[in-house]
Amino acid sequence: MTAKKGEWLEFTVPSEWQGQTIESLLKMTWGAPKKWLHQLRMEKGVKLNGQMVSWQTPLHPNDRLQLWLYKPEQTDIQPNYRELEILWEDEHLLVINKEPGVDVHPTDPQQTDTLANAVTLYLQTEGIFTKARHIHRLDRDTSGAILFAKHALAGAILDRMLEQRQIKRTYVALVHGILKKKSGTIEAPIGRDRHHPTRRRVSQTGMAAVTHYRVLDTYHKEQTSLVELTLDTGRTHQIRVHMSYIGHPLVGDVLYGGSLGQWSRQALHALKLTFPHPFTREPITCIAPCRDGWFPGALWQ
């Protein structure tokens, strides 16, 4: 059980922490980064039952462990209002259903219309003046679930979980053509396209990239297929590059060989986000409704 108290977050110690010290909880159980731990120690950012104590102090059930997690941080991101569709939230993290046509974060300090600007303002209305930390990214024209951390410790733990593939992301896309195989794996390295500033391409000198796909439905009249995709890696434009590479570019993705048709963006949506909670290990699953007409809503309802 946790409770935000100003810039501090108070944990009521559960029975499973019995016998652990403050230091072992921070280092071993949560895997907090050394640099962050050093800063926390220097700033006297830990209390037990309202008192400064040694980090070697053992924890007992119902103790109140207080951590200075919401220390105000400087940021170049200006707070700006945008309506947010929140899928899941607690004192540590925030999952948002991103709409298409919105950048996740600014490319320069003057840009104020991104998701990070809106999250910054939202956190400030909660009395939180930390940086808005996105754990992963979505392209500007890709919609769906995206995860933010509300403080540096949650951000560090979630970053590590992403590296260890504990955060699972499931996408759906509408692609050109009828796929011959109902499921498969695309394993092809991705690198920059030296002839184009933003495009990526399959390249033997690129970084390893693995995409798994499964056909959900086929539309023979339109000559398109609805596919589910999961990633073992997180390369820039990975799904778009890989599907184009096998001859099935995304509908609307003109950068990689798709045609617009009636859609003004690539038909790609981050449908599901599944991960263990960074502190409680509770399994969390978020389903992000797709608001575009290309995606049949019956699949997520």
Q: What residues are annotated to the active site?
A: 139
Rounded to whole angstroms, how far apart are CA atoms 93 and 294? 30
Q: What is the dihedral of CA 291, 295, 300, 301, to 10 degrees?
A: 70
Rounded to whole angstroms, how far apart are CA atoms 45 and 189? 44
With contact defined as beta carbons under 8 Å apart, do 105 and 301 qualify? no
CA 232, 166, 118, 87 dihedral sign is: positive
CA 241, 242, 244, 249 dihedral sign is: negative
Rounded to whole angstroms, how far apart are CA atoms 284 and 48? 29
Q: What is the dihedral of CA 269, 275, 279, 280, to 10 degrees?
A: 120
